[in-house]
Each structure stands twice: as C-alpha cells, then as structure tokens.
Amino acid sequence: MKNKEPGSWDASTGLARAILHDRTERRKWMGRMVLVPLGMLAVGLWVIDAWIWESPWRVLFWWGGCAVATVMVMLFAMYDALAVIREEREKHKDS
C-alpha cells in the first residue's frame, strides 16, 4: 500500500483526541459550546420570533435545533465529569 497523506478524518480524530484528553481544553470548548444554545435561545426569542411562529415547521426545526444543541452540551458536560472522576481516581491510585 502507498503511504498517503492524512485526510480530514485523521486530522479530525487527532483534534478530538487532543481536546478530550486535556481538562482545560475540554472546559474551553464546553464554554464555547454553551454559547450556541444560549445564542439560539436569544435570537429565537427576540430577533426572529415572529418569523419562527409563522409556520409550525419553523418552530419545530428552530426549537428542535436548540434542544439538540443543549443536549450536546449536556453530554459533553457529563463526559467531562466522568473524565475528571477517572483522572482523580488514577491520581490517587498512583500516590
């Protein structure tokens, strides 16, 4: 087989691995990620409220997207909590 250059999949998995294994980097990304549903909430309530409520499909897609973004942040926070527990257990086990 030929040696080929790493593609976007390899780059993405490397980036994800780097983010997920470093506590401070995880927290930075979580802080950024929480801004997405908060921004969607603010825009949906105050900026495009009338436009959203013109169609039930718009309501479903907008608030469904906001819910999905919120669930993603919550899952990332749960992963962070479990990773911190694991890191602390390993730290105390070694000492």
Cα radius of gyration (the chain): 19
**Whole-angstrom distance between the N-terminal and C-terminal Cα of the chain?**
46
User: Worst-scoring range by mean pLDDT, 3-7, 20-24, 52-56, 61-65?
Assistant: 3-7
Checking if the pLDDT of 65 tops 80, the result is yes
> H or E element: which one contains 37?
helix 23-42
CA-nearest of 67, 79, 85, 68 to 29 is: 79
Name the pTM for this structure: 0.76
Q: Token pair of 58, please?
A: 């718009």
pLDDT tens per residue across span 12-50? 787 777 777 788 888 898 999 999 999 999 999 999 999
Q: What residue type is assigned to position 82 of the chain?
A: L
